[in-house]
Structure 1
Amino acid sequence: MVEIYDAHEQGEVVKKWLQENGAAIVIGIVVAFGGLFGFKQWQSWQASKQQEAYAEFNVMSELLSASQLDAAMDNFQNLQDQHADSPYASLAALQMGRARVEASQPDLAINQYRFVMDEGRPTALKTVARLRLARLLLAQDKAEEALSLIENAPETEGFVAGFAEVRGDILKTLGRSEDAVTAYQEALDSLEPGVGDRATLVLKLEALGVVPDEEGAA
């Protein structure tokens, strides 16, 4: 049954409801506006943190470009200590890893690549770090360890050709020529027109006695 109230009765019902729930409404409004204000403050704080991280990253990049590795370490350390959850920290670790390789300090580079592979963001940077680490391990005669990294990659989207090529390099080093051919062919087939170093893959296949056709099929 639907109850029908006249204007007076409806007014009394509303007053009674407000008396019983008015305090809760006021508190709710305060919380809502407080939450909104807090969220805006949080957004502002986040933006400020990202700007700080970018500034540190930019200075570090410029110092590395000028071959001032020691000087760049201060900015790099600030990123690691104060902005570890920022993508700039991951980008910085990748850059520092490459700088360490160029400075003939591969062990230090490995640490940077492992950090990004385990903790980096976004996910694509983890994939890049894994690929670089595999190449570095192979260069250090750690082919089995490098192969494990490649084969256990959780994500290779966008890097299929790169992973297949490195797998081929590793398998060739391990003396598994037929498997290396398969990997190089996969890399070649995965390349989009105008993307990647097709000529190098062709040379690697030819070195194993395989001549791809014009479309990249062995």
Structure 2
Amino acid sequence: MAVELYDEHEQGERVRKWIKEYTPAIIVGLILAFGGIFGFRYWQDYRADQQLMGSDYYQVVSQQVTEGNLESAESEYQVMLETVGETAYTGLAGMQLAAAWVDDGRLSPAAEIYRGILENRRLESLWPVAKLRLARVLEAQGEYEQALSLLEGAAPEGFEASWAETRGDLLFERGRVDEARAAWEDALARRTADGGNPRLLQIKIDAATTEGGPS
């Protein structure tokens, strides 16, 4: 009986010692665990709020662009960048604003937006369109070599015809007529296969054949 009481006492002491030694670690672990759960929920709520704000800002920018209020659209776009950062919505808003600037003859700020999109890996899905549009802006600015460098390598899937046609236009401007014709013929074959309208491409090919280069 004495032995049993001693064992129970010894075991109790061991338990108390264990609790004293490990309780702080247990508490910290629980705090971290619950903190992680609530932190993750907070992050989810934060991301949802950001998405909603991004959608709202995009609608405002889009409406201002549609109405031709480019100064207001630019102002809203800058606030959008500062508020929600680089997201899909800011990328789309930037693309729309840049296109409006190109139509308005403001090529430099449009090129800035396109370059910003191409530097952001979170907006990778917009890169093919941004590259094509930036190439056209650089073409309008006479920066043919820079534009061509954007379109080096294989075209992204689904953009093969546009890629080839744009390259053809740039090569033709550089006097590289045979290469331009080959690019246009490639684009023509792809457009015809896709059911697109090949008339303009055929005109370009015919012009390259008869004129032998840019005027």
TM-score, normalised relative to structure 1: 0.78
Aligned twin of 2:158 = 158
Q: Is the 8 A contact 1:93 1:115 kept in 2?
A: no
Distance (whole Å) between structure 1 residues aligned to residue 122 and residue 183 of structure 2: 28
Distance (whole Å) between structure 1 residues aligned to residue 197 and residue 34 of structure 2: 56
Which is further off, 24-33 or 76-85? 24-33
Distance (whole Å) between structure 1 residues aligned to residue 161 and residue 186 of structure 2: 7
Distance (whole Å) between structure 1 residues aligned to residue 121 and residue 59 of structure 2: 18
Distance (whole Å) between structure 2 residues aligned to residue 165 and residue 84 of structure 1: 34
Indicate yes or no: 2:68 matched with 1:67.
yes
Distance (whole Å) between structure 2 residues aligned to residue 33 and residue 193 of structure 1: 58
Distance (whole Å) between structure 1 residues aligned to residue 117 and residue 164 of structure 2: 21
Q: Secondary structure at the match of 2:101?
A: helix
Identity %: 35
TM-score, normalised relative to structure 2: 0.79
Q: Is the 8 A contact 2:192 2:198 kept in 1?
A: no
Can you give the 5+ residue segments of structure 2 that lack an aligned partner in the other structure? 1-10, 211-215
Shift of 1:195: 5.3
Aligned twin of 2:201 = 201
Shift of 1:194: 4.3
Aligned twin of 1:109 = 110
Distance (whole Å) between structure 2 residues aligned to residue 85 and residue 108 of structure 1: 17
Aligned twin of 2:92 = 91
Aligned twin of 1:167 = 167
| Deviation by residue 1:74-98 (Cα, 9 ceiling, x = unmatched) | 2111122222321111111111111
Can you give the 5+ residue segments of structure 1 that lack an aligned partner in the other structure? 1-11, 211-218
Distance (whole Å) between structure 2 residues aligned to residue 196 and residue 49 of structure 1: 39
Distance (whole Å) between structure 1 residues aligned to residue 171 and residue 50 of structure 2: 44
More helix by share: 2
Aligned twin of 2:5 = none
Amino acid at match of 1:173: E
